[in-house]
């Protein structure tokens, strides 16, 4: 194993220190670990906080800054952050209007953010928590009950972060986050595995002539293992998985601030169809170069045009990675006027910047 690291135990801390040294807009706290906006807390806005295991950079710490997250909590590699990280980060960035947690649907993340939500409530801080569960590949996988939370997280952080910047209150931010989640679908594939520094070996074995179709961002098994084929064929399969996904109804838990308890909420993601406008992301899992991502985007755009689906905004690059894994994910979010407005609003973070 060859990696640009010093000591295995120092990887997360040193990447946080490097990001803060490179970007004046963010600061770090190391006990417990979290990253936050240099200008926080801001008294006029809801604080948006997310987090998850490290190894997916730039998500989440790379999206801390104006127009996205107020704070992010990095766990160890592929390991959920702890409730005390979430609690202390939320208290650091809370300016008064409350805190919204955006949580990917992985068992550890959900459990720990739930605990942090309850602790914040006990301290008298208004809080809400919204789940992301957009991966159409599988349900009830290795680390989840229900669908995994993947690429829609990035788009949610951008859209909801801009809404908070514009003055949306906590309930409005939560409603918008829920709408983005119900509008988003993702699917991914892997050409290779990845190596967690502490493990020192590939997360899973895969043949030189094989791909994992429907892979998760930690290397979780997908729908099937299959022979490698062309970029166009792979893209077509990924897009078909998204477009053929039917209306998806499930029950999620959300925090009731009035009762101070969790309540079940039934939500539905409507299937994409002709006439829809979408924001799309073609994302590298870390090892796939931009040149190959544009080959994927070319085919994605052709399919959308043929299906009568209009791409109104797009991201092509590495935004939610899996260390050095070769592979890609495609995310499609049906966008209305509100979502397009906040997508195009200014943003200034280490990992995403425009309109400044």
DSSP letter string over 243-284?
Answer: HT---EEEEEEEEETTTTEEEEEEEEEPPP-TT-EEEEEEEE
Alpha helices in the chain, H assignment, sequence order = 11-22, 83-93, 107-122, 152-165, 170-183, 231-243, 290-307, 337-343
* Phi, psi angle pair for 147, to nearest 5°: -80, 150
Question: What is d(CA 126, CA 147) in angstroms, rounded to the nearest whole number?
Answer: 28
List 135's β-bridge partners, or say none.
186
Annotated catalytic residue within 23, 56, 60, 121: 56
CA distances from 117 to 43, 123, 249 (A): 20, 10, 25
Residue 56 is a catalytic residue: yes
Other residues' Cβ atoms within 10 Å of the Cβ of residue 274: 11
Task: Classify residue 226 by burial, with Cβ atoms within 10 Å: 0-12, 13-18, 19+.
Answer: middle
Map residue 172 onto helix, strand or coil: helix
Residue 218 is a catalytic residue: yes
Annotated catalytic residue within 23, 60, 121, 218: 218
Question: What is d(CA 101, CA 50) in angstroms, rounded to the nearest whole number?
Answer: 6
Question: What is d(CA 87, CA 107) in angstroms, rounded to the nearest whole number?
Answer: 18
Question: Before 283, cis peptide (omega within 30)?
Answer: no
To the nearest 10°, the Cα dihedral for 22, 23, 29, 32?
-80
Task: Classify residue 275 by burial, with Cβ atoms within 10 Å: 0-12, 13-18, 19+.
Answer: exposed
Question: Before 176, cis peptide (omega within 30)?
Answer: no
Catalytic residue numbers, as ranges: 56, 218
């Amino acid at each position: 194993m060859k990696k640009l690291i010093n000591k295995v135990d120092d990887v997360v801390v040193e990447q946080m220190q490097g990001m803060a040294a490179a970007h004046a807009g963010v600061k770090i706290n190391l006990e417990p670990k979290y990253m936050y906006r240099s200008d926080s807390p801001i008294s006029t806005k809801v604080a948006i906080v997310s987090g998850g295991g490290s190894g997916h950079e730039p998500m989440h710490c790379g999206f801390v800054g104006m127009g996205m997250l107020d704070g992010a909590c990095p766990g160890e590699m592929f390991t959920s952050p702890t409730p005390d990280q979430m609690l202390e980060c939320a208290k650091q960035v809370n300016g008064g209007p409350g805190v919204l947690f955006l949580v990917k649907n992985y068992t550890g993340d959900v459990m720990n953010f739930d605990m942090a939500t309850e602790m914040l409530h006990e301290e008298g801080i208004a809080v809400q928590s919204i789940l992301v569960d957009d991966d159409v590949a599988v349900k009830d996988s290795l680390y989840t009950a229900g669908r995994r939370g993947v690429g829609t997280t990035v788009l949610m952080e951008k859209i909801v972060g801009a809404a908070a910047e514009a003055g949306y209150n906590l309930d409005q931010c939560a409603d918008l986050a829920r709408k983005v989640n119900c509008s988003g679908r993702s699917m991914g594939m892997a050409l290779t595995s990845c190596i967690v520094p502490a493990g020192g070996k590939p997360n899973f074995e895969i043949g030189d002539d094989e791909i994992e179709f429907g892979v998760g961002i930690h290397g979780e098994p997908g729908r099937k293992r299959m022979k490698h084929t062309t970029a166009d064929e792979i893209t077509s399969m990924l897009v078909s998985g998204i477009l053929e996904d039917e209306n998806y109804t499930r029950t999620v838990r959300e925090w009731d601030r009035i009762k101070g308890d969790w309540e079940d909420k039934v939500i539905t993601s409507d299937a994409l169809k002709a006439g829809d406008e979408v924001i799309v992301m073609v994302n590298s899992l870390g090892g796939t170069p931009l040149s190959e991502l544009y080959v994927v985007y070319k085919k994605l755009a052709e399919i959308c045009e043929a299906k009568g689906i209009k791409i109104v905004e797009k991201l092509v690059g590495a935004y939610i990675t899996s260390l050095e894994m070769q592979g890609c994910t495609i995310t499609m979010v049906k966008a209305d006027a509100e979502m397009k407005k906040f997508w195009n609003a200014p943003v200034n973070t280490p990992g995403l910047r425009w309109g400044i």
